[in-house]
Amino acid sequence: MTDTHRLKLFFGGDVMTGRGVDQILPHPSAPRLHEPFVISALDYVQMAERKNGPVSAPVDHSYVWGDALEILEQMGPAARIVNLETSITTSEQPLPKGINYRMHPDNVPVLRAAGVDCCSMANNHVLDWGEAGLVETLDTLEAAKIHACGAGRDLESARAPAVLNLEPERRILVFSFCTDDCGVPPEWSAGAGRPGVNLLSELSRRTVDAIARRVEASKRPGDLAIATIHWGSNWGYDIDVHHRSFAHHLIDHASINAVHGHSSHHPKAIEIHHDRPIFYGCGELVNDYEGIRDHAEFRGDLVLMYFPTFDTSAGALVGVEMVPLQIRRFQLKRASAVDRAWIRETMSRECRRFGHEVVERDDRFALGW
């Protein structure tokens, strides 16, 4: 295999640039919240400051990425794909769901600062500010030249893949889905003439066959097809048996080259199935949870950047590298030696159930299988 057949991607977990993060950026939304116990987004900033020190707001749009920007430059992925779990809107009409994330549209340069190419939108926060908020989010991303998938102005557009055109004549097709077990209400499903998300009603072989037909209609020789899925609970390392079966079927029967899973607030296991990776939960990448004490045993402050490399001639995985970081003062910083050891041991423990191991190489991890 020559280098011309190698293609490296970047997968990020949940990017939650709303609420507290939005407040420290140059163009914050009104801070009022509609949560049961917290009434101002500024409270999340104050909690983080009490834990790790002051944030000199307003920060520039690159601030939250911190050391991740240098890592992205060093790794040089051909495409950068994340789950954007935030509505980008000026709407003042939140849905009555308890927690509503939004970022001001004038803060969309925060995504451009990290060179994000594609945002998966099928998740349980993209409609926090109603259909109008979703449409404004889609318009804002389009104006910023950032691909979006998994949500749309109608069912057909919500199901359509994002097509990332690379050189020379390579493409990444990103199909985005969500399930109801991560808190997506059924009424958020897109319909004929109704904005919404690409919600899977069941993880059945019939669903796989429908996805397979869509992949077949879009995929050309040399393309990579990514299934990015928001599924499962926020906490815990267990892998749902239905998720695993569905991911296997997507690879075996729908020509999917990688499954990019998210929703868990911490990294979960990775499985290599027939030389295709399944990331069951990529965890958070950007959030405002820094001062929250609940579930501290999962170390939600520690995050991973994922860099899978593929052989495009066969569509198979060549390797997976991961870089551990820590969120401090709403900024990604390189993890300490102690924290690197903790997250490597945790990932090794979880990946070992599939016969895989995580080893450290300098300040990075590599997956062995």
Q: State pTM to two decimals.
A: 0.97
159: left (phi over 0), alpha (psi -120 to 50) or beta: alpha
Residue range 13-58, pLDDT digits in tens: 999 999 999 999 999 999 999 999 999 999 999 999 999 999 999 9
- Average pLDDT over all residues of the chain: 96
What integer is the mean pLDDT of 70-74? 98
| The two structure tokens encoding residue 42 | 């500024």
Tell me the two tokens of residue 257. Answer: 């080259």
Is residue 293 very low, low, confident or very high in pLDDT (cuts 50, 70, 90)?
confident
325-369 per-position pLDDT tens digit: 999 999 999 999 999 999 999 999 999 999 999 999 988 999 999
Structure tokens at 329: 């003062």
At residue 2 the predicted structure's pLDDT band, cuts being 50, 70 and 90, is low
Residue 102 has pLDDT above 70, yes or no: yes
- pLDDT tens-digit profile of 181-222? 999 999 999 999 999 999 999 999 999 999 999 999 999 999
Closest CA relative to residue 59, chosen from 109, 115, 118: 109
pLDDT tens profile 56-71:
999 999 999 999 999 9
Contact 128, 95 (CB under 8 A): yes
Q: How confident is the model at residue 323 (pLDDT cuts 50, 70, 90)?
A: very high
Q: According to the model, what pLDDT value does residue 5 have? A: 84
At residue 288, the pLDDT reads: 97
